[in-house]
Amino acid sequence: QKEVEQNSGPLSVPEGAIASLNCTYSDRGSQSFFWYRQYSGKSPELIMSIYSNGDKEDGRFTAQLNKASQYVSLLIRDSQPSDSATYLCAVNEGYSTLTFGKGTMLLVSP
């Protein structure tokens, strides 16, 4: 059973701080990794995707991948109250299906 593990949180950070969200996965053959944001009562929306070891930056978001350690993370710089949501880590599982973690709840206080 392929697994994607995330700390459920909540992770609480003050406005303007850096939020660090972490995810580990069990399948060494996984090739693509995604971070989705889900507001309460809404559907998930894609924030970042990463396929190669290292960092990928997009605005205030940075995804980091370490395939040797089977670890992927998401950094959110200058966190805003509007970033408060659950962040889902997802890993590909062949045929373009994804395995999702349970998500980490992020709370950004003003």
Cα(87)–Cα(85) distance, integer angstroms: 6
Q: Which stretch binds another protein (CB under 8 A): 13-21, 28-36, 57-65, 76-84?
A: 28-36
Type of residue found at 71: Y
Examine residue 43 and tell whether it contacts another protein (CB under 8 A). Answer: yes
Question: 3-class SS at 107?
Answer: strand
Examine residue 101 and tell whether it contacts another protein (CB under 8 A). Answer: yes
Cα(34)–Cα(61) distance, integer angstroms: 12
Q: What is the CA radius of gyration of the chain?
A: 13
Examine residue 49 and tell whether it contacts another protein (CB under 8 A). Answer: yes
Cα(37)–Cα(63) distance, integer angstroms: 13
Of the pair 10, 14, the CB lying nearest another protein is at: 10
Of the pair 1, 110, the CB lying nearest another protein is at: 1
Of the pair 45, 57, the CB lying nearest another protein is at: 45
Contact footprint for another protein (CB under 8 A): 4, 8, 31-32, 34, 42-46, 49, 51, 88, 92-103
